[in-house]
Every structure is written in C-alpha cells, then in structure tokens.
Amino acid sequence: MDGFCLENQDNKKAILLLHGLTGGPIELMQIGKYLHKSGYNVYCPVLPGHCKGSEEVKKTNWRDWHNFAINEFDKLNQRHETVYISGLCLGAVLAFTVGLERPKEVAGICGLSTTLFLDGWKVPWYRFLFPLGLYTVLKFFYSFPDDEPYGIKNEKIRKRVAKIVKEDPTILDCFPMVSIKELLSLSSFLRKNISKVRAPFLLIHSTLDDLTSTKSADFIYENASSKMKKYIWLNDSYHLIVRDNEKQMVFEQTVSFFNQMAKKQPKQLVERI
C-alpha cells in the first residue's frame, strides 16, 4: 500500500495527512479527496514500518514516526506558501508534535480522534497491566486485537472495512504491544511539551470513541498555548470518524477551519461545540 498525492501544480496551499497506528493512507482517502476538491493540495504518506506487516511496524519507534512527519512537513513547506497538517489517531498526535517543533511554520492543525491515552471502551479491561508488558520482553510477543467493531459504529460500513482487513495482508488486525509502547512514549513527549504548541487547531473527537476517550482531546484543548482553537464533539461515531456516521460533518468542519485560517479572520478564537 502506497501513500497518495492529490495536487494542482499552481496551488500554494497544502495539507499533510497522517494516518493512524497500524493503519494506512486508505483510511484517509475519502477526506483527502474532499480536501483536494475544496482547493488544497493533499499529501498522505505511509508512516515508517506501516503497511508491511506486523514485524516491520515493530521495528520502528516513536522517533522514527516523529522525524518522518517533520521531514514530510518541511518538504511541503519548501514548495508551498501555506501548509496545514491533520491526522487520525497516531497521526493526530504526530500533527501536534510537528506543531511544537515548527511553531511558526504550521498554519493550522486538525486532530481527528487524537490518541494520547488508550482508555476507550473497547480497550481490554486488563489495560492497567499494560505497564508490566510495556517495559518487559512481553511487549515483543503480545498484541491486542483490532477487530469488531473496527472503530466504526455504522454496521454497513463496518462490514466493508472488515472485508478489506481480511483480504489485505498489509492491514493489521491487531495492535502490537511494542507499538503501543511507542505510541504512549510519543504521547508522553507531546504532553510534556504541549505548551509549545501555538498554531491554530481544530479537534474533532467522538464521545463514543472505542479506542481513546475525550480525555485526549481535552488535554490538548486545555493545555496548548494556541489562541485560536476549536473543539467539536461527535455523538454517533466510534474511533474512525472519517469513515463513520458523521464523516460528512468531519469533512465539512475540517475544510471550514482551514478556510478560516487561510482568510486569517479572527486573531483569537476559542470555541467548544
């Protein structure tokens, strides 16, 4: 599975899209096309270790993902006048870490199902034992399944996604513990440095997220230093909000936010919906 690029050569506005942990660009294809039709060049690369099976993703760490995201942003920034960044799950966390590393260059951030904490309703009840596995050799052998409901509330869409997962060997049906450790290490890095994030941002998060509760988005909203910020709660989706019942709202709100930033309207915006 490769990344995708949707661009017009004379367009000077770009959006870097980053996919989720053990996921791939395919999960962001629909929103990518919507953003492109709305006037943006869109670039969605494959994160290091992803789309190549579980053994490859286990070989990468959070700094690999972090450095990769920064490099991809820098390349776009050299070719465009304005660059925004958005991501889903792990991709959202990476979007904010790019924001703290490039505080003057990032024009805006959109975090979709930002995953700082693994505390959703589907995460195993024994998650309090994760530290035992995270910091021992057990992390190399254990994975917890990414199966029903596949982060999707809509049953028809869920069935289609389940079929894709079963037929495509590059899509993982589990979260390796070693990768979870790296995600949580990245989360820790961002939480310690969140005050350095000054770029305008939009957070969209479902109250029914099966992987990560609204605690993650709450933390970003309450602790980032950005003067322009907006937070939207969804109530009819699970984790994969770009493919679920409220995806159209996610698409529209994302474009509306980036358009607002492009027009440089308010110097201050604090909104929670």
Q: What are the domain boundaries of the chain?
A: 4-272
Contact present, 89 and 211 (Cβ < 8 Å): yes
The token duo for 121 is 């309703």
> Does the CA dihedral 256-257-260-265 come out positive or negative?
positive
DSSP secondary structure letter of residue 49: T
* Angle at 152 (CA atoms; ends 211, 53), nearest 5 degrees: 70
Out of 3.40.50.450, 3.40.50.1820, 3.40.50.1470, 3.90.420.10, the CATH code matching 4-272 is: 3.40.50.1820
Side chain identity, residue 177:
M
The token duo for 178 is 């070693």
Q: Return the biggest CA–CA distance within the chain.
A: 53
Q: Residue 29: its pLDDT value, please?
A: 95
The residues that bridge with 201 in the sheet, in sequence order, are 109, 229
Q: Residue 177: its pLDDT value, please?
A: 81
Per-run averaged pLDDT (10 residues), the chain, 273 residues: 87 95 91 97 95 82 97 96 97 98 95 95 62 50 62 91 70 75 94 96 97 97 95 97 97 96 64 64
Beta-strand runs (E) in the chain: 4-6, 13-18, 41-44, 82-88, 109-112, 143-145, 174-176, 201-206, 228-234, 269-272
Contact present, 123 and 216 (Cβ < 8 Å): no
Contact present, 146 and 117 (Cβ < 8 Å): no
The token duo for 177 is 């513990």
Q: Residue 223: its pLDDT value, please?
A: 97
Distance CA 78, CA 81 (A): 8
Question: Could you tell me how many residues make up the chain?
Answer: 273
Identify which of 264, 266, 272, 254 has the alpha carbon closest to the alpha carbon of residue 87.
Answer: 254
By three-state DSSP, how is residue 44 classified?
Answer: strand
pTM > 0.85: yes
